């Protein structure tokens, strides 16, 4: 007996939290957060869509945190900070190129000085050249590892000594860490390595009570997600719930891990993918 096809109405899941209109609940009151990768790429037709970094920064501010928005794109980081300020919260910007090793420690110092403290850190930086194995070059491999992985290690290395006891760190990985079907091995390897790095940072921070976890988004409707969909129009046709996720849904998982609600969650990876990685796609 065959199972009848069941169509899913994506609107069922369009809660206020999913679209970024829910009010804050003071979950980050008094906290001092640095979001690395708080800007986003300008994509035609996606100006009003929040990328993961922007959504994380804005939600943290709504929840009561001071936020430093760091990005290589000063204008985009400034726009994120401006949106936070327009909602009545505190935000500053910081321009940084994490591909330059020394910039990572400078960034941590500058954020600490700007806020007077640092007790929350989100690393949301990543690039992809989209090269399959046969077309990878050493230069592309090294650049993706420098930005997607080395910068995370250096930022955590610099942050742990200055972060307050009981602080929290979140690395933004990807479902690509588990799947080779994107034919993008450099990116996939860096994202898999981020999960291992999160565990190593968690171990290093134990004595200070500093937690480190990873959030791994699946198919998310961000400006970069729109570009990916343009290149692969069918990529989102079989996702659970009949839709892609939103940057706000990634942000809520991240804020939970940063908050004291997650005080006994450490060295874990949360996949924000609607179940896609578990094989329950439509």
- Integer Cα distance of 55 and 222 in angstroms: 10
Q: Which of 187, 248, 252, 271 is catalytic?
A: 187
Angle at 133 between CA 130 and CA 137, to 5 degrees: 80
Alpha helices in the chain (DSSP H): 52-62, 74-86, 101-115, 138-145, 151-159, 185-205, 223-231, 247-258
Give the Å distances, CA to CA, from 247 to 46, 54, 106.
Answer: 12, 8, 28
Strands of the sheet with 168-172, listed across from one edge: 91-95, 66-71, 32-36, 120-123, 168-172, 211-217, 269-272
> Measured between alpha carbons, how far is 108 from 170 in angstroms, rounded to an integer?
15
Chain-centroid distance, C-alpha 112:
20
Is 187 labeled as catalytic in the residue annotation?
yes
200 three-class SS: helix
Taking the alpha carbons of 165, 248, 214, 162 in that order, is the dihedral positive or negative? negative
| CA dihedral sign, ordered 270, 252, 170, 241 | positive
What amino acid positions are annotated as catalytic residues? 187
């Amino acid at each position: 007996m065959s199972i009848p096809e069941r169509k899913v109405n994506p609107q069922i899941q369009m809660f206020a939290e999913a679209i970024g209109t829910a009010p804050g609940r003071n979950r980050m009151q008094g906290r001092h957060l640095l979001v690395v990768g708080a800007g986003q790429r300008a994509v035609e037709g996606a100006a009003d869509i929040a990328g993961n970094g922007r959504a994380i920064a804005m939600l943290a501010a709504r929840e009561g945190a001071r936020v430093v928005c760091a990005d290589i794109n000063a204008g985009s980081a400034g726009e994120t900070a401006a949106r936070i300020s327009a909602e009545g919260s505190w935000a500053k910007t910081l321009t940084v190129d994490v591909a330059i090793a020394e910039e990572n420690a400078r960034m941590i110092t500058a954020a600490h000085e700007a806020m007077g403290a640092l007790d929350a850190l989100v690393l949301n930086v990543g690039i992809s050249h989209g090269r399959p194995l046969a077309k990878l070059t050493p230069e592309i491999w090294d650049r993706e590892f420098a930005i997607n992985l080395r910068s995370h290690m250096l930022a955590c290395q610099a942050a742990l000594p200055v972060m307050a006891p009981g602080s929290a760190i979140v690395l933004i990985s990807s479902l690509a860490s588990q799947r080779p079907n994107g034919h993008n091995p450099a990116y996939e390897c860096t994202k898999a390595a981020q999960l291992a790095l999160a565990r190593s940072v968690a171990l290093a921070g134990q004595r200070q009570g500093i937690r480190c976890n990873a959030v791994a988004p699946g198919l998310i409707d961000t400006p970069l997600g729109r570009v990916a969909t343009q290149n692969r129009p069918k990529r989102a046709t079989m996702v659970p719930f009949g839709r892609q996720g939103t940057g706000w849904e990634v942000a809520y998982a991240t804020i939970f891990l940063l908050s004291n609600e997650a005080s006994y969650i450490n060295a874990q990876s949360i996949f924000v993918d609607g179940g896609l990685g578990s094989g329950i796609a439509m």
